[in-house]
Amino acid sequence: FGYGAALVVVTFLLLVLAVAITAFWLSKVRASNR
């Protein structure tokens, strides 16, 4: 398990977290618009 694999895992986790936050924010904005 080298730095390359760790970097890939961290990047993947950050990407998933960003997608989850974006989805949550979009649902929140849509709910507030109605």
Residue 25 CA to residue 4 CA, distance in Å, equals 31
Give the tens place of pLDDT for each residue, 1-14.
689 999 999 999 99
Spell out the SS3 assignment of the chain: CCHHHHHHHHHHHHHHHHHHHHHHHHHHHHHHHC
State the pLDDT at residue 23. 97
* Band of residue 33 on the pLDDT scale cut at 50, 70, 90: confident
Number of domains in the chain: 1
Provide the token pair at 31: 């709910």
Q: What is the domain extent for residue 23? A: 1-34
Type of residue found at 4: G
Amino acid 2: pLDDT: 85
Predicted confidence at residue 9, as pLDDT, reads: 96
Q: Please write the tens of the pLDDT for every residue from 18-28.
A: 999 999 999 99
Instruction: Quote the CA–CA distance of 9 and 34 in Å, as a whole number.
Output: 38
